[in-house]
Amino acid sequence: MKMELKQVSEQVKPANDGRRLARKRMNKFLRLTDRASNQVLGRVMDMTTEGIMLISASPLRQMDDMSVSMGLPAEFEGGAMITFEAKIVWTKKSNHSNNYATGLKIVSVSDQDKAIISRLISRMPKKSNA
């Protein structure tokens, strides 16, 4: 089992921190779900309109683009569900727990859902680098 996890961590590499947009930490519990399997992939930790950092109990493998959905808090947009295409670009073991952190790039999203994401992250605190 450990050997398999090691292979996964060697397969995917963490992104460099040369992001174009400041990440916003989510202070709401948002789940990201794979629309094809209806499987919850994990919890959104922080995000921009271009990408998401997800925390999950097991590592996610890099793959082709996948269709995902994210339920919004009930008090925001009436708890609507937004959908978009994303690509897993890196996965690594968390330094703080037994979970895994995964970086996803948003590769396709409707203008309406992108505007909703923008409004959502504008309400969240800026991620601290400390």
pTM, full prediction? 0.73
Average predicted confidence (pLDDT) for the chain: 80
Q: Which two tokens stand for residue 88?
A: 């897993």
- Ordered by start, the domain boundaries in the chain are 2-122
Query: What residue spans of the chain are helical by DSSP H?
Result: 2-11, 111-122
Residue 20 clears pLDDT 90, i.e. is over it: no
Using alpha carbons, list the distances in angstroms from residue 102 to 9, 21, 54, 77, 115.
11, 17, 5, 26, 23
For the chain, report the end-to-end CA distance as a whole number of angstroms: 34
Between these two residues, 83 and 64, which has the higher pLDDT value? 83
**CATH class (in words) of the domain with range 2-122:** mainly beta
Q: How confident is the model at residue 101 (pLDDT cuts 50, 70, 90)?
A: very high
Residue-level pLDDT at 61 = 85
